[in-house]
Amino acid sequence: MPETTFMGVPRSRIPWAPTIDYQKCDFCMECDEFCPHRVFERRDGDVKLVVANPDNCVVFCRACAKTCGPDAISFPDKPSTVALIKKLRSEEDEG
């Protein structure tokens, strides 16, 4: 399968995905139930949910964080992500 791109940049080079703060997460699974892109995966054991497929996450989408009662989900800074994408795009143009 060809590598997925976002705005002309390989998706794997854009670090946009949720981060779970396990100090706050109560494993209610709201985010996993909400997200249709299979970003999260459930596990047995103490840590019952992980970000298993970060590249499935839709860049700039933060919808799962809005479903999070304990506010345990964070995302990278949007302006720096835009800046990074611009930089990678100009590199692609040069290359």
Partner 1 sequence: MSYLVLACTGLDKAEGSVAREVAIRLAEEAGAAIICPVALNRIPARYKKALAENRLVVVDGCATGCAGKLAAAAGAKPALRVLVSDVVKQAGSVLPPDLRLGPDALDLAREIADEIAARQAAAPGPQPAVAQKPGPVAFAPPADFVVVVHDKYEFRIPVTGFFFNANDIWVQVAGSRARVGISDYMQQRLTDITYVDPPEIGATIEQFDDICTVESTKAAFEVVSPVSGRVVLVNEALEDAPEAINEDPYDSWIAELELSAWEEDRTLLVDGPAYAAEVERKAAED
What is the distance, to the nearest Å, from the Cα of residue 74 to the centroid of all Cα atoms in its chain? 9
- Is 59 near partner 1 (CB under 8 A)? yes
> Least distance (Å) from partner 1 to the CB of residue 60?
5
Determine which residue in the list 17, 50, 51, 58 makes contact with partner 1, applying CB under 8 A: 58
Q: State how far the alpha carbon of 93 is from the alpha carbons of 2, 21, 68, 82, in Å.
A: 19, 37, 39, 17
Contact between 82 and partner 1 per CB under 8 A: yes
State the minimum distance, in angstroms, from the CB of residue 19 to partner 1.
Answer: 18
The least CB distance from residue 7 to partner 1, in Å, is 5
Q: How far is CA 30 from CA 10, 17, 21, 49, 51, in A?
A: 29, 16, 15, 11, 14
Scan residues 3-42 and list those touching partner 1 (CB under 8 A): 4, 6-7, 34, 36
Binding site for partner 1 (CB under 8 A): 1, 4, 6-7, 34, 36, 58-63, 66, 78-79, 82, 85-86
